Amino acid sequence: MKKMTLGNRILAMLLAFVMILTGIAPGTFNARVVKAADATEQRFNRIYREEGIVQVKDSIYQNSDSILTPKETSHRIKARKAGEITDNSQVSDKVDIDQIVKEGITSASTFLNSQNYKYECSGASDWYIMSKLRTGQTISDAEKEAYGQSAVSVVSKWKANQKPTDIARVALTLSAMGKDITNVGGVNLAAMLYSSDRLEDGSNELSWTLIALDATSQKIPADAKWNRESMIDALLGFQNENGGFGLFDNKSTGVDMTAMILQALAPYVKEAKVQTAVDKALAYLKDAMDEEYAYTSSESAAQVILALACLKRDAVDAGFAAESKSIFSTLEKNYCVKGGGYAHLKNGVANAMASYQIMEAYEAYRRFKASEEGYWDMNSLKPSTPETPSTPETPNTPETPSTSETPTTPETPSTPETPSTDKTPETPTTEKPAKKPARPVIRKAAAGKKKATLTWKKVKGAAGYQVYRSMRKNGKYVCVKKNLKAAKYTDKKLKKGKTYYYKVRAYKKVNGKTITGAYSAIRKVKVK
């Protein structure tokens, strides 16, 4: 047994004395975290050794700015009477999640507001502005204008291959301000997203694109490179058998990525395939928690809370919280920094990324509990376009009935002699449908380093070819090359080790119209 300090001896004697006076049998009271004036925490585990004897085992932590150092000691306390003892040492006061959320938003906001962010289009500022607006804080018209001008300047330099995550981030920030993302200095950010060649770079690109487009219910044209269905199918392809989602494939899964993808899939949970994927993912996230409802970083916990709110799942009911402890209380205990803000790692210093992510998560939870619009739902902020109905003022034109004086023209009825042309109705022979081009036959589908090359037999009379690709054989196919003249196509910038499926069809032009033929057989390529 380790030597007891004077303070510990006094504490033990006081505890025993109080228990005897109050008639409380040792071991029958609930264990609590006692925060004394010197910030000392004591956690008790009681063991009933024999009749009339209880052992109190405590771990004492001196709360300082350094790493917490535990000290352990043992005490013997005489019980008033013999009997069985139910050890409730793990039971503590009921956690008030709503209070944690309220104070957490204030703490994160206090820290972030102290960082003196500029109202300009950049990664750090974008997330700060967005989270500030979504938590009900305001920014001035001048600040909005400054950001808007900065966004126009940045966006004007973007090319078609700009990272989709950059586009989505700016689109979400502008949407939170109530600005139109389809006209940012003449640039349509929504179109850049659903036309991007880089959405298959990873699940991060797909999830944020879907979130950004859904935030203001952007319409996607029928002939767009991507639609919501193809994005969902592509996202589902990143899910591992264990339920988790990967960043670049479905092999190396992670908590953060899984939770982010759940946020993107949340609006589509009524679809059977999405619901199945969501259930598996939630099971994975629960398995990834430790017994204290904790993850390895504050951001991981934040993304899980945000995902649950988007899915309209209560943390307690979903298995991420109990009465005495929860993902929220553990987050506060391990990552909340005195003075404001949250740390990335346990007992670390305040960090901007951790702070705004936790602020987002807490706000999402608050909105869910209050039955308000979801965190990523910004449709109420969408700029109104109904100003165009001003055109009905043109009914002044009915004053032209004065032209009724021109009835002198009816003298031209001499032309009815042309009814002889009644015999020309034989022209409906043009109704004969144009012959469709033949079905291409893919001769070779070869895999290369991060690329796939297809070759097929030329189709007689074809003006060109269209190449379609999917990540699943029976999934949604997306057109990756629309007007190809050659009977060969190389698809580049693919992911190593990933399998892609292709089909090709020919087309020709008839009287200005495009006539397409049947698709070729599907060919599979596993990229090297």
Residue 468 is inside which H or E element, if any?
strand 464-470
The sign of the CA dihedral 101, 104, 110, 116 is negative
Highest mean pLDDT among 28-32, 93-97, 159-163 belongs to 159-163
Mean pLDDT calculated for residue range 348-356: 92
Convert the pLDDT of each residue in 460-492 to its tens digit. 999 999 999 999 888 888 999 988 999 999 999
Residue in the structure block whose two tokens are 């500029």: 118
Residue 29 has what pLDDT?
A: 34
- pLDDT for the residue 30: 36
> Is 157 strand, coil or helix?
coil
Residue type, 220: I
Cα gap 415→78, rounded to integer Å = 124
Structure tokens at 352: 């901007």
Structure confidence at residue 315 (pLDDT): 83
pLDDT of residue 498: 92
Rounded to whole angstroms, the Cα distance separating 335 from 337 reads 6
Question: The tokens of 384 are what?
Answer: 């109104």
Distance CA 360, CA 130 (A): 9
pLDDT bracket for residue 74 (50, 70, 90): very low
What pLDDT, on the 0 to 100 scale, is given for residue 432?
A: 60
pTM value surpassing 0.75: no
Q: Per-residue pLDDT for 67 more than 80? A: no
Say what the pLDDT of residue 473 is.
85
Q: Which domains does the chain have, with CATH numbers?
A: 6-78 (2.20.25), 97-380 (1.50.10.20), 442-526 (2.60.40.10)
> Number of C-alpha atoms within 13 angstroms, CB side, residue 119?
16
Rounded to 5, what percent of the chain is helix, strand, coil?
40, 20, 40
Among the listed ranges 49-58, 301-310, 472-481, which one has the minimum average pLDDT value? Answer: 49-58
Measured at the alpha carbon of residue 203, what is the angle toward residues 209 and 153, in degrees to the nearest 5? 40
- What pLDDT does 358 receive? 95
* CA-based nearest residue to 1, from 78, 77, 61, 75: 75
- Convert the pLDDT of each residue in 147-165 to its tens digit: 999 999 999 999 989 999 9
- Per residue in 366-417, pLDDT (tens digit) is 999 999 999 999 999 888 654 444 444 455 554 444 444 444 444 444 444 4
What's the confidence (pLDDT) of residue 64? Answer: 38
In the predicted structure, residue 348 carries a pLDDT above the cut 70: yes
Structure confidence at residue 414 (pLDDT): 47
Question: What pLDDT is recorded for position 317?
Answer: 82
Distance (Å, whole) CA 189 – CA 152 = 11
Percentage of the chain surpassing pLDDT 90?
55
- The burial of 304, by beta-carbon neighbours within 10 Å (0-12 exposed, 13-18 middle, 19 or more buried), is given as buried
- Residue 83's pLDDT is what? 55
What is the per-residue pLDDT for 406? Answer: 45
What mean pLDDT is reported for the chain? 79
Crossing angle of helices 255-265 and 272-288, in 10° steps, is 150
433 confidence band (pLDDT: 50, 70, 90): low
